[in-house]
Amino acid sequence: MKNILVINTGSSSFKFQLIQMPTEEVLASGLVERIGQENSEIHYSSEGFSGTKEKEVANHSVALKAVTNLLMDPEKGVIKDASEIAAIGHRVVHGGTTFSKTTIIDEKVKKEIKSLFSLAPLHNPPNLTGIEVAEEVFPKAQQVAVFDTAFHSSIPKKAYKYAIPNKLTEEKNIRLYGFHGTSHKYVSEQAARILDKSDSKIISVHLGNGCSITAVENGKSIDHSMGFTPLSGLIMGTRSGDIDPSVIFHLVEKLDYTIEEVNELLTKKSGMLGLTGYSDLRDIEAEAQKGNRECQLALEMNVYRIKKYIGSYAAAMNGLDVLIFTAGIGENSSTMRKLVCDNMDFFGIELDEEKNNTRSKENREISTKSSKVKVMVIPTNEELEIAKQVQELVS
């Protein structure tokens, strides 16, 4: 038996699970959300205890140290000493062309992760912070990196290559990489298992503060909405998603923005935050219900973009068997799921509203019996998927 601590650091959140392998028993789990905001919350649960604490969490380093204290707390904790953790699996967003599989972390790996900061500015920096803090707190544990980009290594050249001079792809590795791969891999495999059908045509919609959508055919990723970085694709919490590149030139040449300011604008000040003043969908939905037109329009824009991708991926696969909703918004927002599935009968998508409005943490089907496409809500479990990959590597 090995205790594996899985650290999943998002752009504004920090999820963790301490999992005993190979039994897959979760000894403790939790979430630190709204990091960097005044209303940060720490959720923690272990056997016999579950609670939430409001506490200002300035950054991801503070978050990890708070979690570590809980794991070793005399009353709430599940371990007495850091040496009881054999390995730590770190979710790392961007692996570039260097990393296409799970990798043991050393100084060279950390240096390469740092070199990719510019490609995933909201994620790779906190990912590396998590690694460095974990090395301090758990010096005897094996540190392992699991890369979001790995699942998308199966995307064919016709889909990952940009229509730019060939040498930029071949020599500078400018291409589509894809992200949220651990999540898309887990939920698509869950759907295939439930359906007992490995040759399914699946569209996986991962909706959180970061949002992405993947076409999965016969268990392999064949296209994905994010590209060279996690900036493109769907409208996200603070990221713009798809935008005409000429807008960047206009901002720099005509409006006197610096390149750094444009990067800040598109990654941290756009998306739902730029449209509404809020980055959290819960706030936006609440304001929309009150009649806030900016929030209503932002939801419409968000849904419209998702529908366009569903249509294009259904065309690319020449069909669709399953539509999956996952991640924080996808699993919990019945409103978003309904808006996405409305007026999609051309694709054979019919939502059962009663099933959609039923809250559950289990895998579930929310389409009608007559729906040609099965619509499912599958809670992502990136942590378990990471623990499995870590176990395979260090066992």
Cα gap 282→286, rounded to integer Å: 6
Cα gap 355→386, rounded to integer Å: 30
Which parts are annotated binding residues for Mg(2+)?
8, 382
Which parts are annotated binding residues for ATP?
15, 206-210, 280-282, 328-332
Which parts are annotated binding residues?
8, 15, 91, 206-210, 280-282, 328-332, 382
**For residue 3, with 0-12 CB atoms within 10 Å meaning exposed, 13-18 middle and 19 or more buried, which class applies?**
buried
Cα gap 157→13, rounded to integer Å: 33
Cα gap 21→124, rounded to integer Å: 27
User: Which residues have C-beta within 8 Å of that of residue 156, sequence separation ≥ 6?
Assistant: 222
Give the CA-trace dihedral at 324, 328, 332, 336, to 10 degrees: -70
Catalytic, 321? Answer no
Q: What stretch of H or E contains 31?
A: strand 25-33
- Please say whether the beta carbons of 124 and 192 come within 8 A: no
User: Which residues have C-beta within 8 Å of that of residue 213, sequence separation ≥ 6?
Assistant: 203, 204, 205, 206, 224, 225, 233, 234, 306, 309, 310, 313
Count Cα neighbours of 44 within 13 Å in the Cβ-side half-sphere.
20
- Please say whether the beta carbons of 303 and 285 come within 8 A: no
- Please say whether the beta carbons of 71 and 28 come within 8 A: yes
If DSSP codes are grouped into helix, strand and coil, which group holds residue 4?
strand
User: Which residues have C-beta within 8 Å of that of residue 295, sequence separation ≥ 6?
Assistant: 276, 278, 284, 285, 287, 288
Q: Which of 148, 196, 223, 352 is catalytic?
A: 148
- Please say whether the beta carbons of 253 and 223 come within 8 A: no
Cα gap 128→117, rounded to integer Å: 9
The residues that are catalytic are 148
